[in-house]
Amino acid sequence: MGGEKTGKPVLLSGGNPQIAKEYGDGPVKAYIAAMPGWKSDIGRRLDALVEKTVPGVCKAVKWNSPFYGMEGDGWFLSYHCFAKYIKLTFFRGTSLDPVPPVASRTPETRYFHINEGDELDEALLADWIRQASGLPGERM
């Protein structure tokens, strides 16, 4: 990969880091460190919020995105970098209250977009994360 020679991570279209599929905290931390610009700070905040809200959460990087789930129960959250925003994916988002605002082609999935300069409503995000972690996860 191009990043091996320069020591810098490869960024895919939209500035999404290319990180090899692997389970655990390390690959997620590598993804977050490789997130460009303001997105890396948001990634650190999201990761800390998930860890605080869901003790013992399982982590992985799959399809160049961090995934969060419960042991034996599947994935409840992932996020992905795009050029102008970070897209949080709640796999059972239609079961959350309130329902995250952005619809998906997948009936139960809902998205929440974070743009540069947005004030993060960490109480709302923690509530969604808490709710989502208690639902059956997505098996991928």
CATH code of 52's domain: 3.90.1150
Is 138 within a domain? no
Q: In terms of residue numbers, what domain contains 114?
A: 10-133
- Residue 127 belongs to a domain: yes
Residue 2 covered by a domain: no
Rounded-to-integer distance, Cα 38 and Cα 114, Å: 11
What pLDDT is attached to residue 140?
63
For residue 36, tell me if it sits in a domain.
yes
pLDDT interval class at 6 (50, 70, 90): very low
Q: pLDDT tens digits for 24-76?
A: 999 999 999 999 999 999 999 999 999 999 999 999 999 999 999 998 889 99
Domain count, the chain: 1
Question: Residue 2: pLDDT band by 50, 70, 90 thresholds?
Answer: very low
Residues 83-121 pLDDT 10s: 999 999 999 999 999 999 999 999 999 999 999 999 999
